[in-house]
Amino acid sequence: MRVLHVHSGNLYGGVETLLLTLAGHRDFCPDVEPHFALCFEGRLSEELAAVSARTHQLGKVRARYPLSVWRARRMLADVIREHQIDVAICHSMWPHAIFAPVIRKAGLPMVLWSHGAYDGRHWTERWSRLSPPHLAIANSQFSARALRKIYPNVPTTVLHCMIRVSDWCRSDADRTFVRSEFQTPKEDVVIVQVGRMEPSKGHIVHLNALGMLSELPGWTCWQVGGGQRPCESRYVEKLKRTAFELGIEDRVRFVGERSDVRRILAAADIYCQPNVTPEGFGIAIVEALCARLPVVTAAIGGAIEIVDESCGLLLPANDTQQLANLLRRLIQDGALRKNLGAAGPARARQLCDPATQLQQLHQTLVTLLDNHA
């Protein structure tokens, strides 16, 4: 079965991590031959090339320039025809809005894989309504509920993101090296947050809570992520100013975008991501569980399907005081950190084991093909 994954490719985050997992774990599902169609070159296209994935460039697309849309659609039609694609999956609303007409015209079963929570108001979502998929895949029950409001007559299945837990290790040498690189004392409790630099991730709440702990010795915070767009770069500068105004700028490290996130997580002690708006799932949270880190996050969106009392602590969104209380508790209680962290890998495996998830994806697509025949 030849499956074409269609995506923009201009940014790097959770969706891109999933696509790399699909490309790099073909051994779990040898009956599926994945192809990847991207509009923009960048880190994703480079990393797909590094694992010898079948990647097709469609050309840069700007919705406000109809000619760029027409050219990319023609390229996608050529890819579908020349490579005899069996199923096309659009990852998120933007590629579905742009390319669904081409896939439908080619007569292929069409899947929309939702990686976020939609409300139907954005132009991509309104445009996507014009070409409903044959099947929707959601990365959580939370995302699935949102999708059903947009496509009430489209069958929807939940498939969590795929993360290989067995690849993770905590090397003392790596831990020492990373802490040295980030100018962090080896005895400090490190609180880390990883992800796109967007206000929805709760960085401001995180920093304000740490500001309440300025008198507490022995902690350092690592903020991992860089500005991929001008608005994100401005946001990073705002975060740096906030840390300075709170008097904790010497204890917060803004380390930028990194490709060695696993090593960084393994060198930390607590993972904190106090989302202020719901997100569909949370790959970074699962990766933190794989790294045996206790997780502190807001009890909204897909996060509550990941974190339970065995592996982390939940709090109301935008509750800075409660976040400060929970972080203080974890900083001061090494046994609690150890107990919560120890349960992380099993929880991650239960949710995101690649072999299980890829087999489920394969069976879902086989059923779709049978019904479409």
pLDDT for residue 339: 97
Label each residue of 294-327 as H, E or C: CEEEECCHHHHHCCCCCCEEEECCCCHHHHHHHH
Query: In terms of domains, do 347 and 361 share one?
Result: no
Backbone angles phi, psi at 299, to 5 degrees: -85, 65
User: What is d(CA 314, CA 43) in angstroms, rounded to the nearest whole number?
Assistant: 33
Query: In terms of domains, do 151 and 221 share one?
Result: no
Q: How far is CA 168 from the centre of its chain?
A: 18
Which CATH number does the domain housing residue 113 bear? 3.40.50.2000
pLDDT for residue 228: 82
Query: In terms of domains, do 96 and 187 share one?
Result: no
pLDDT for residue 198: 93
Query: In terms of domains, do 365 and 241 share one?
Result: no
Query: In terms of domains, do 46 and 12 share one?
Result: yes
pLDDT for residue 167: 63
Backbone angles phi, psi at 41, to 5 degrees: -90, 150
Query: In terms of domains, do 137 and 262 share one?
Result: no
pLDDT for residue 164: 78
Query: In terms of domains, do 132 and 24 share one?
Result: yes
Query: Residue 41: helix, strand or coil by DSSP?
Result: coil
Query: In terms of domains, do 157 and 182 share one?
Result: no
- The closest alpha carbon to 282, from 265, 305, 266, belongs to 305
Query: Residue 272: helix, strand or coil by DSSP?
Result: strand
Query: In terms of domains, do 129 and 72 share one?
Result: yes
User: What is d(CA 100, CA 95) in angstroms, rounded to the nearest whole number?
Assistant: 8
Domain holding 228, by residue range, is: 165-351
Angle at 241 between CA 206 and CA 176, to 5 degrees: 60
How many structural domains is the chain composed of? 2
Residues 251/256/257/262 CA torsion (nearest 10 deg): -20
Query: In terms of domains, do 242 and 362 share one?
Result: no
Query: In terms of domains, do 194 and 138 share one?
Result: no
Q: Residue 15: which H helix or E strand, with range?
A: helix 14-24
DSSP string spanning 134-193? SEEEESSHHHHHHHHHH-TTS-EEE------GGG----HHHHHHHHHHTT--TTSEEEEE
Query: In terms of domains, do 33 and 129 share one?
Result: yes
Per-residue pLDDT of the chain (373 residues; tens, 9 = 90+): 999 999 999 888 888 988 998 898 777 778 889 999 999 999 999 999 999 999 999 999 999 999 999 999 999 999 999 999 999 999 999 999 999 999 999 999 999 999 887 888 889 999 989 899 999 999 999 999 999 989 999 999 999 988 877 767 677 888 999 999 999 999 999 999 999 899 999 999 999 999 999 999 999 999 999 888 899 999 999 999 999 999 999 999 999 999 899 999 999 999 999 999 999 999 999 999 999 999 999 999 999 999 999 999 999 999 999 999 999 999 999 999 999 999 999 999 999 998 888 889 999 999 999 988 7
